[in-house]
Amino acid sequence: MADSQVPWGLDAAGGAVATPAWRTKPAWYLVATDDRMIPPPAQRAMAERIGAQTVEVAGSHAVYVSQPAAVANLIKQAAAG
């Protein structure tokens, strides 16, 4: 899992976003209902805040490892939408 994550540069901390993509583009969010890092109610609130279409799946914080089919299906939905 660590190999899939890349370090971010210090420039990212000071960067400014003029128009967040979630304000102008459709968004999707996969709620991992067994996540113990980001509580599912917080995930739902974040998804609602950006107006995302949500899908819920029983999975941990590493849902893309434990539920790859669900993640792939969500990506397919987003690509088709």
Contact 38/59 with Cβ under 8 angstroms?
no
**pLDDT band at residue 14, thresholds of 50, 70 and 90?**
confident
Q: Is residue 29 part of a domain?
A: yes
Average pLDDT over residues 6-25: 81
Polymer length of the chain: 81
Beta strands in the chain (DSSP E): 28-32, 53-57
49-64 pLDDT per residue, tens: 999 999 999 999 999 9
**Residue 5 forms part of a structural domain:** no
Within a domain: 66: yes
Kindly report the pTM of this predicted structure: 0.75
How many domains is the chain built from? 1
Q: Residue 7 domain-assigned?
A: no
Q: In this structure, is residue 51 part of a structural domain?
A: yes
Does 37 fall in a domain?
yes
Q: Domain of residue 36: give its range.
A: 25-80
pLDDT of residue 1: 61
